[in-house]
Structure 1
Amino acid sequence: MNITPSIWALTIAVTIGFFVYEFFAHVRRPHEPTIGESARWSAFYIGLALLFGVGIGAVSGWTYGGEYFAGYLTEKALSVDNLFVFLIVMSGFAVPKIYQQKVLMIGIVIALILRGIFIAVGAALIENFSWVFYLFGALLLVLAYRQAVSHDDSDPAQGRFMGFVRRHLPVTDEYHGDRLTVRKSGRRFVTPMLLTIIAVGFIDLVFAVDSIPAIYGLTQEAYIVFTANAFALMGLRQLYFLIGGLLERLVYLAQGLAVILAFIGVKLLMHALHVNELPFINGGEPLLWVPEVPIWLSLLFIGATIAVATVASLRKTRNDRNRLDVHTPDER
């Protein structure tokens, strides 16, 4: 792809514009969004993301279009996993519903900034060191294993990181509207709102570690990586309120994401062998007999995995609820 600096500047400016509009139109006034409002804006951002992908395919070719859609699907699925952790954070800090939009908005902006940094670093590494594909591939396999066996409902609000923050910052016990700090008895205190934002920012950093290597396993175009991430994060705030109850029913989401990360990890390792330059592997020569995974197969696999994980999750929770209803005595 031939992305000029002016296209980059326009893309970043439009992205910032969307978030500025979101803040002044929806977040500045504390309120809990209705289902209708959340549904409309979620549909708008998903539609916009799909339209952008069609535009990439029409202008730059459907190879790049396919890479964008595969990246967008992967990042959207990982973002939904973020939402599940955000839900735990909100519950742990007992954030009032009307202030949750502000926490989510700030958290999403932090996520985009962190991912932008990771994208730039990743692009520089890939351009100069082909061996980084080995590193990314191995990292994704480790993260896939952790995602599959270590995904639990531990409360980030009570974790070691937040314990460290509490020991070094004076914290009030109660919220003071959506203020981040408050002065009491001549002393400045931070509110639980600020602690929640710190927790969300830390979680964003952790999630960026698996997010960026994953999408670089699908495309090496930094522009596609950035736009797929930006569109995956747009509308995430509305999606939180739209599917808040559904999140708890996606019991196999972690396993589905583990399968996707493992698939991309293997794909990256195969690509690393195909372009190998490490002297202790095949004398520094590429292993051209190692096949490359085509983007259409990646897109099909990712979409099918997300669909299977979602359907299986909803079926399991429905069956569990039916069994509970059968074994619960009628108290009427």
Structure 2
Amino acid sequence: MQVSGVVWVLTVLFIVGLLLFDFFFHVRRAHVPTLREAALWTSIYVSIAIMFGIGVWIFGGSTMGAEYFAGYVTEEALSVDNLFVFLLLMTSFKVPRADQQKVLLFGIVVSLLARTGFIVLGAALINSFAWIFYIFGLILLVTAGNLLREKGDDPDEAPDNIVIRIARRFLHTSDEYDGDKLFTYQDGKRVLTPMLLVMVAIGGTDILFALDSIPAIFGLTQNVYLVFTATAFSLLGLRQLYFLIDGLLDRLVYLSYGLAAILALIGVKLVLHALHQNNVPFINEGEHIDVAEIPTLLSLAIIIGVLLITVVASLLSPKGRARTHVAAARRHAGDFLDVETDPKYCDEIYHRLLVEEKSLRELPEKYRARIRQEDELMTLLRRAHQLHAERVAAGSCFAPTASRSSGDA
């Protein structure tokens, strides 16, 4: 199916309209989305993506429909993995919860622009050089290997890529946030706030993510319209999804394994396609190689199957449960101590901290023993309880739930 210029323009206008709607009706007023709000709008954006895919299937045929859904599911899975990094960046830069929406929307816009540029470049390379499929396949296979190796890294350590290092060096900001403003005044002088720095970090990290995701979707379809729309719709609901599955992110301990398997599959698919269209002189003397290629419908089924298995295994894993509660307790204690200043939300954070500590005490003894050996975490929890006690004595930021010593974990 050839996509007309009119369809392209209408699609782009629709996506831009969704972004503007998101900003003016949700992000412009700083607030913490409720679980109901996040669930409602996540379901709306997913429904839009699915209905669009059904339209592609009806008007473009089953092959195009399968290519779109395979691309959308893969990009959505990669986006969920990216949320881990966003969460670590938010924690590292101590962004107040109510202001995180604007940072996320900024990151989505930057990511969409960057990926659009990469899509145009990738399409031009594919049309001019058939051997680029070998490069894309190699990138995905290397990325899959890196995902497996990174499982040994500290999951709570924020990334420190070149974009963040450059931003920290050249963007000298104030120490305090001023709501979600990019500029504030200190001693009568106009200065940058940390909000600008975290936006640059999120945007720069998004660009690096695009280097992996674009080759992945080109491995499933070379139709530029499908590549663009699947990528765009996977990004549009990312802000709402962040607040919906915030508490589950740390639970998905096996997601990286699933993504590694998916990227490896697509990498092999790309290499097979490159061999089938081979014109590289030193491979089979520049002649095509008749090899079996992986059908798109089979790719879609494998991708969905791998994701279901990894998500279910993660949710049932005792290790995932322990990691979830530890990460949540650390995050809530850090927010209570160093980030949030709104008394109402401060109370809510402290209550969440107590809930997580209760969950920690209900873990099997081997996990509780490991937690007690984490001196930094235990110190953080004790500081949170001490500060709460001081605030109760002063009559501010009071959480009515009785506290219990973190040493009883």
TM-score norm. by structure 2 comes to 0.77
Distance 1:185 1:325, change over 3 A: closer
* Contact kept in structure 2, 1:119 and 1:226, CA below 8 Å: yes
**Structure 2 unaligned spans of 5+:** 323-359, 370-406
Residue 154 of structure 1 deviates from its aligned partner by 5.8
2:237 to 227, 235, 238: 235
Residue 285 of structure 1 deviates from its aligned partner by 1.0
Distance 1:67 1:323, change over 3 A: farther
Number of the residue aligned with 1:293: 294
1:222 to 218, 221, 224: 224
Q: How many residues align?
A: 331
**Structure 1 unaligned spans of 5+:** none
Residue 182 of structure 1 deviates from its aligned partner by 2.0
1:171 to 170, 173, 178: 173
**C-alpha distance in 1, partners of 2:39/2:321?**
28
Letter in 2 for 1:147: L
* Contact kept in structure 1, 2:137 and 2:271, CA below 8 Å: yes
Number of the residue aligned with 2:261: 259
Letter in 2 for 1:42: T
* Contact kept in structure 2, 1:275 and 1:286, CA below 8 Å: yes
* Contact kept in structure 2, 1:112 and 1:233, CA below 8 Å: yes
SS at 1:94's partner residue?
coil
Letter in 1 for 2:216: A
**C-alpha distance in 1, partners of 2:222/2:119?**
10
Distance 1:240 1:283, change over 3 A: same
Letter in 2 for 1:17: G
Residue 194 of structure 1 deviates from its aligned partner by 0.8
Distance 1:159 1:227, change over 3 A: closer
SS at 2:364's partner residue?
helix
Letter in 1 for 2:13: A
What percent identity do the matched residue pairs reach?
A: 50
Distance 1:324 1:286, change over 3 A: farther
Matching of residue 307 in structure 1 with residue 308 in structure 2: yes
Residue 177 of structure 1 deviates from its aligned partner by 1.0
* Contact kept in structure 1, 2:171 and 2:197, CA below 8 Å: no
Number of the residue aligned with 2:204: 202
Number of the residue aligned with 2:31: 31
Distance 1:183 1:119, change over 3 A: same
User: 1:101-141 CA deviation, whole Å, 9 max, x = no partner?
Assistant: 00001101111111100111011111111110001001111
User: 1:186-241 CA deviation, whole Å, 9 max, x = no partner?
Assistant: 54422111111011011101110010000000000000000001110111111100
Alignment of 1:1-332 (within 5 A): 1-151=1-151, 152=153, 153=155, 155-156=157-158, 161-288=163-290, 290-317=291-318, 321=322, 325-327=363-365
Letter in 2 for 1:8: W
Letter in 2 for 1:297: L
Residue 170 of structure 1 deviates from its aligned partner by 1.9
Distance 1:176 1:304, change over 3 A: same
User: 1:140-169 CA deviation, whole Å, 9 max, x = no partner?
Assistant: 111111111125436446555434322222
* Contact kept in structure 2, 1:119 and 1:212, CA below 8 Å: yes
> Relative contact order (C-alpha < 8 Å, sep 6+): which is higher?
1
**C-alpha distance in 1, partners of 2:314/2:158?**
24
* Contact kept in structure 1, 2:164 and 2:204, CA below 8 Å: no
* Contact kept in structure 2, 1:93 and 1:157, CA below 8 Å: no
* Contact kept in structure 2, 1:157 and 1:199, CA below 8 Å: no
Letter in 2 for 1:294: P
**C-alpha distance in 2, partners of 1:325/1:89?**
28
